[in-house]
Amino acid sequence: MVKIQHFSTKQSILPAAALVLLVPALLFNLGLVAFYDDEAIRALVALEMQTSGNYISPTLFGELYYNKPPLYNWILLAVFEATGQNNEFTSRAVTVFFLLLYALSVYQWMKPRHGLVTALALLTCGRILFWDSMLGLIDICFSWVIFLMFMLVFQKGEKQEYGQLFFWSYLLAAIGYLLKGLPAVLFLGTTLLTYFIWQKKTKRLFSWMHAAGAMIFISIVGGYYYLYARQNGLAEIIQTVFHESAKRTFIEYGWTDTVRHLFTFPFEMWYHFLPWTLLFICFFRKDFFKILKENKFITWNALLFLTTLLPFWASVEVYPRYLFMHVPLLFSVFFYFYYKNKKENGWQAKTVEMVFFAASCVAIVLALFPLGWEQAKDVPYRIPKSIGLAALSALFSYLYFRWKNQRMIVFALVLLTTRISYNFFILPSRLKIECSTLVRQTTLQAAKMANEHPIYIYKNSLGFQPLTGYYFTRETGHILKKDFGEIKKDAFYLVHPGNYDASIFKKYGEVKIKWKCGTLWFMKKRLLRIKSNFFKN
């Protein structure tokens, strides 16, 4: 009889199982829930580019949008054009595509020893698996680009290929800048300084090769701004770019909030990237620095993690998605120490494994929860789905117990199974209670009612509601704009009845908006009836 515990069998079964589970985990019901605000911004800017035919100057509600450069909008637009679909699924599928590229890159750079487990940990950390992998945002794509820069600086530096080091670092920084702006420059500068100071080769920073690399960045970014300036000038966009970078610091929030953030930041980030951050206890050993220095690549990852994290630690308004490029750096160090500790039969590895096994058993119970959950009663094939996922979690829990050397990979499979259960049961329940569902539903109804008549925002009635703007623009094929002029008799208007006199309009319906799940009236100009006594005689 062939023993399933055979190492080569495990080596082939586990990656195959991960690939199979990734498809439903990342794609099932991906487009079910309506956009969130930041997602709608990305999609709306791309849609307005498509509608206006202007791909250089991003706009939002027809007004110049300065907050982000246009590269990600170009990517979205290319996908919309290629698929012929402009909706939540296609926008979020772009995120999934870059997430898989990111995980593949992590696997390539971290192999042969910890490549698979580090890549799976990236995919299954809490913040990514149960939130950002389901959103059509820039950050995963941007983090992948920055991670490549991290790795290439080390690789080319170790081979003393400094020309290529500067070429790739500045090229990737330019791509990163066109995705998200100044943070790419911050990462570039910090990475180069960290590497060359660490290697005591700071003279390389003053070489002609460095200057040549900088020219690549200037050519790409400067070329875009040259085209932009020909249309709009640069004063406003430069001011906005620097404001976007400074607004999250003590300049905006003051010292009190900044000092408080310095203490809370590590715990918040530890929470968001659970369960893998529990591996932190593997650092609790007297010979930590001695063990760390035994592996130069792991030392680089740890050092770079610290130096590039410091600006975020000092910034008050930091979202976990801003730190995704740090995740594989930290996780690679985690697994390096975990496997060292496991080989020594240390208490740290045993503790982590016991906690993860308990979590695997909890996953079985969670998979069965929808059987008695009222909110899940309308899910098709609820009973076989729930029982099947519970059985799969039970199988993985058994393998976790038996395959001691593969426990981290098996636990990642448990997490992927839990995400599938989340897709089956939680997302449909969110669809019922999210205000964005009503926003989408009422907006589509209003766009259909307009029947090709123009639609405008009456003065400032809408405020900043990109979700509403996206659905109206997509359905009508016209950019939704504010109108401060004379009311047009053949046009529909979105009117805030609490802020403006609606008596001059006739109400045709209501449109929900995301802000406090409020309501705007969908209206047309009221036609005045002129009384006449002409026919009375």
pLDDT digits (tens, 9 = 90+) for 41-88: 999 999 999 999 999 999 999 999 988 999 999 999 999 999 999 999
Could you tell me if residue 490 is inside a domain? yes
Element holding 446 (H helix, E strand): helix 435-450
Per-residue pLDDT, 244: 63
Confidence of residue 1 (pLDDT cuts 50, 70, 90): very low
pLDDT at residue 257 above 80? no
Q: Two tokens at 209?
A: 């090769």
Could you tell me if residue 536 is inside a domain? no
Higher pLDDT, 426 or 251: 426
DSSP state of 86: -
Q: Do residues 494 and 510 touch, judged by C-beta distance below 8 A?
A: no
Do 403 and 479 fall within a single domain? no
Strand pairing category for 481-483 and 519-525: unpaired
Could you tell me if residue 462 is inside a domain? yes
Give the whole-angstrom CA distance, residue 31 versus residue 41: 16
Do 448 and 403 fall within a single domain? no
Give the whole-angstrom CA distance, residue 411 versus residue 353: 9
In the predicted model, what is the mean pLDDT of residues 232-240? 81
Do 421 and 449 fall within a single domain? no
Among 433, 466, 493, give the residue marking a domain's end.
433
In terms of C-beta distances under 8 Å and separation of at least 24 residues, what long-range contacts does 259-262 make, across chains too?
261/313, 261/314, 261/315, 261/316, 261/318, 262/313, 262/314
Do 405 and 468 fall within a single domain? no
Question: What domain range includes position 403?
Answer: 347-433
- SS3 of the chain: helix, strand, coil, percent, to 5: 70, 5, 25
Q: Two tokens at 7?
A: 């190492």
Give the whole-angstrom CA distance, residue 176 versus residue 188: 10
| pLDDT 10s digits, 80-131 | 999 999 999 999 999 999 999 999 999 999 988 799 999 999 999 999 999 9
Per-residue pLDDT, 249: 58
Could you tell me if residue 234 is inside a domain? no
pLDDT at residue 300 above 60? yes
Could you tell me if residue 176 is inside a domain? no
Per-residue pLDDT, 536: 43
Whether pTM > 0.75 for this model: the answer is yes
Mean residue pLDDT of the chain comes to 91
* Class of residue 162 by CB neighbours under 10 A (exposed 0-12, middle 13-18, buried 19+): middle
Could you tell me if residue 67 is inside a domain? no
The residue written with tokens 């504010």 in the block is 482
Which of the listed ranges 243-247, 256-260, 370-374, 461-465 does the model predict with the highest average pLDDT?
Answer: 461-465
Do 392 and 441 fall within a single domain? no
Among 404, 433, 462, give the residue marking a domain's end.
433
Do 428 and 446 fall within a single domain? no
Do 412 and 372 fall within a single domain? yes
Per-residue pLDDT, 529: 54
Do 450 and 517 fall within a single domain? yes
| pLDDT 10s digits, 377-407 | 888 999 999 999 999 999 999 999 999 999 9
DSSP state of 34: P
In the predicted model, what is the mean pLDDT of residues 334-347? 94
Do 428 and 492 fall within a single domain? no
Give the whole-angstrom CA distance, residue 161 versus residue 442: 58
Do 461 and 516 fall within a single domain? yes
Could you tell me if residue 251 is inside a domain? no
**Closest to 491 (Cα-Cα) out of 454, 523, 528:** 454
Q: Do residues 136 and 43 touch, judged by C-beta distance below 8 A?
A: yes
Do 395 and 474 fall within a single domain? no
Among 415, 433, 451, give the residue marking a domain's end.
433
| Structural domains of the chain, count | 2
